[in-house]
């Protein structure tokens, strides 16, 4: 049974869990209805605050996200959690403790949790994550938490979506901060030293500060910012997520960063940059689709590919042929 798209959107705006879940599935499958749906919902987006939590597997990201979610719920803020993490409890292979942890939110309609598979996404994982975040934004979630393993480019692209990027480190994990992806160091707005109950926490904190002192502070030149908000030096927050220690301090720092982010013009800059990339991606996929369809679709593409592989044609002639058939370019002799 298909629901008119308007009433589906209405249910999403009302925060109905089943309607949201169905929409996420549509986004994941790149289903044709996801586009008109997001189009209708778009005017209701733009108010949620996205926090990305990233770091190596086992550093305590899920635990932290869970604690942060509880913190926001205590403040009566609604929460959406997107877990893009193959090791996440939400993706299925959960160990018992993780299940119990998530059950602590069971029955709370103010929190929506969804995991995304990390493979086999049509049109890219970062795109799908961005669209799911939009959806949760439209569904009225005040805080959106995105957990992702900080490994590949895909994950880096995902945390780039976030308004605030929290990088989680733990003592003793290969210990060497040098092993950390250089990219993560640059995009981290806040560094969390989790499992700070463990040996080596002091040393890691020293290393972190030394490393961060090399990173340029971000200066806010706006007149509205107070002295303390003008410059953002990514701070290091010590936590023991499993014991809920340091989580309030982390939440406060995230809120403080938000003030800086919004008053300094960083938000406008980051969002414009994000939408610029997004528009380019959309344009690219649409143009390719249209041009290919006009030129005979996949079959024509396969034929040309085989022609090039067998050296019957050169790749430039092949592409020109496609463009010519679609009416975008006249054939080159
Ligand atoms: N000792 C200690 N263990 C923790 C802490 N935070 C999380 N853990 C444990 O570390 C393990 C991995 O945590 P998890 O949140 O699943 O990590 P993720 O893979 O980064 O999502 C779990 O057994 C947690 O209970 C902490 O601050 N101290
Ligand atoms: Mg996890």
Separation of CA 17 and ligand 2 centre (Å): 22
Separation of CA 76 and ligand 1 centre (Å): 26
Q: How far is CA 13 from CA 32, 134, 139, 195, 274, in A?
A: 20, 12, 4, 38, 24
Determine the pLDDT at residue 328: 76
Mean pLDDT value across residues 66-82: 95
Q: Is the confidence at residue 112, as pLDDT, over 50?
A: yes
Mean pLDDT value across residues 49-58: 91
The number of the ligand 1 atom at minimal distance from the alpha carbon of 147 is 21
Mean pLDDT value across residues 32-39: 95
Of 104, 241, 243, 244, which is best to mutate to test ligand 1, by the most ligand atoms within 8 angstroms of its C-beta? 241
Separation of CA 85 and ligand 1 centre (Å): 14
Instruction: With beta carbons less than 8 A apart as the criterion, state whether 177 and 214 touch.
Output: no
Separation of CA 211 and ligand 1 centre (Å): 24
Residue bearing the CA closest to ligand 1, atom 17: 60
What mean pLDDT, rounded, does the chain reach?
85
Q: Is the confidence at residue 300, as pLDDT, over 50?
A: yes
CA distance 86 to 104: 22
Separation of CA 10 and ligand 1 centre (Å): 38
CA distance 246 to 113: 23
Ligand 1 shell residues, CB under 6 Å? 57-63, 87-88, 97, 194-195, 197, 240-242
Q: Is the confidence at residue 52, as pLDDT, over 70?
A: yes
Residue bearing the CA closest to ligand 1, atom 13: 60
The number of the ligand 1 atom at minimal distance from the alpha carbon of 87 is 19
Mean pLDDT value across residues 10-29: 93
Mean pLDDT value across residues 274-293: 91
**For 72-76, 93-97, 266-270, 292-296, which range has the lowest pLDDT when averaged over its residues?**
93-97
CA distance 220 to 227: 10
Query: Residues 17-22: contacts with CB within 8 Å, 24+ apart?
Result: 17/109, 17/112, 20/112, 20/135, 20/136, 20/139, 21/114
| List of residues 6+ apart from 286 with CB closer than 8 A | none
Determine the pLDDT at residue 221: 57
Q: Is the confidence at residue 20, as pLDDT, over 90?
A: yes
Mean pLDDT comparison of 25-29, 88-92, 142-146, highest-scoring range = 142-146
CA distance 97 to 258: 32
**pLDDT tens digit sequence for 113-170:** 888 766 555 567 888 899 999 999 999 999 999 998 866 677 778 888 899 999 999 9
Alpha carbon of residue 154 to chain centroid:
9
Separation of CA 247 and ligand 1 centre (Å): 13
Instruction: With beta carbons less than 8 A apart as the criterion, state whether 142 and 68 touch.
Output: no
Cross-strand pairs, 219: 231
Q: Which ligand is nearest to the CA of 97?
A: 1
Sign of the Cα torsion 274, 277, 283, 288 reads negative
Query: Residues 93-102: contacts with CB within 8 Å, 24+ apart?
Result: 98/62, 101/62, 101/63, 101/66, 102/66
Q: Is the confidence at residue 91, as pLDDT, over 50?
A: no
Edge-to-edge strands of the sheet including 143-149?
111-115, 79-84, 143-149, 49-55, 164-169, 190-193, 236-238
CA distance 291 to 55: 40
Residue bearing the CA closest to ligand 1, atom 12: 58
Determine the pLDDT at residue 99: 45
Determine the pLDDT at residue 233: 87
CA distance 152 to 107: 35
The number of the ligand 1 atom at minimal distance from the alpha carbon of 98 is 16
Instruction: With beta carbons less than 8 A apart as the criterion, state whether 82 and 146 touch.
Output: yes
Q: Which ligand is nearest to the CA of 57?
A: 1
pTM of the model: 0.86
Separation of CA 138 and ligand 2 centre (Å): 25
Q: Is the confidence at residue 321, as pLDDT, over 70?
A: yes
Determine the pLDDT at residue 256: 96
Of 57, 58, 59, 60, which is best to mutate to test ligand 1, by the most ligand atoms within 8 angstroms of its C-beta? 60
Between 307 and 59, where is the model more confident? 307
Between 173 and 332, where is the model more confident? 173
Mean pLDDT value across residues 261-275: 92
Q: Which ligand is nearest to the CA of 96?
A: 1
**pLDDT tens digit sequence for 198-244:** 999 999 899 888 888 876 666 555 555 565 556 888 999 999 999 99
Separation of CA 167 and ligand 1 centre (Å): 14
Cross-strand pairs, 245: 240
Determine the pLDDT at residue 185: 76
Determine the pLDDT at residue 85: 63
Name the pLDDT band for 282 (thresholds 50, 70, 90).
confident
């Amino acid at each position: 049974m298909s629901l008119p798209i308007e009433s589906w959107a209405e249910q999403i705006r009302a925060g109905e869990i089943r309607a949201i879940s169905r929409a996420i599935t549509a986004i994941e499958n790149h289903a044709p209805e996801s586009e008109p749906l997001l189009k209708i919902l778009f005017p209701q987006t733009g108010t949620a605050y996205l926090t990305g939590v990233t770091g190596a597997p086992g550093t305590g990201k899920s635990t932290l996200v869970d604690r942060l979610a509880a913190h926001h719920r205590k403040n009566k803020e609604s929460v959406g959690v997107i877990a893009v993490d193959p090791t996440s409890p939400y993706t299925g292979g959960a160990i018992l403790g993780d299940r119990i942890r998530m059950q602590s939110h069971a029955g709370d309609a103010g929190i929506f949790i969804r995991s995304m598979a990390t493979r086999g996404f049509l049109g890219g994982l970062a795109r799908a994550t961005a669209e799911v975040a939009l959806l949760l934004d439209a569904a009225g979630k005040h805080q959106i938490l995105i957990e992702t393993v900080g490994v590949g480019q895909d994950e880096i692209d995902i945390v780039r979506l976030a308004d605030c990027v929290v990088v989680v480190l733990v003592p003793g994990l290969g210990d060497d901060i040098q092993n950390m992806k250089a990219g993560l160091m640059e995009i981290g707005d806040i560094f969390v030293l989790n499992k700070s109950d463990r040996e080596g926490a002091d040393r890691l904190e020293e290393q972190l500060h030394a490393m961060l002192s090399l990173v340029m502070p971000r200066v806010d030149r706006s007149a509205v910012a107070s002295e303390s908000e003008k410059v953002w030096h990514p701070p290091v927050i010590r936590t023991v997520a499993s014991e809920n220690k340091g989580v309030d301090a982390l939440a406060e720092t995230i809120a403080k960063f938000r003030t800086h982010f919004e008053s300094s013009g960083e938000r406008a800059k980051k969002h414009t940059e994000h939408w610029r990339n997004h528009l380019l991606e959309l344009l690219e996929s649409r143009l390719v689709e249209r041009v290919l369809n006009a030129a005979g679709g996949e079959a024509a593409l396969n034929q040309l590919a085989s022609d090039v592989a067998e050296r019957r044609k050169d790749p430039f002639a092949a592409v020109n042929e496609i463009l010519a058939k679609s009416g975008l370019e006249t054939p080159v002799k």
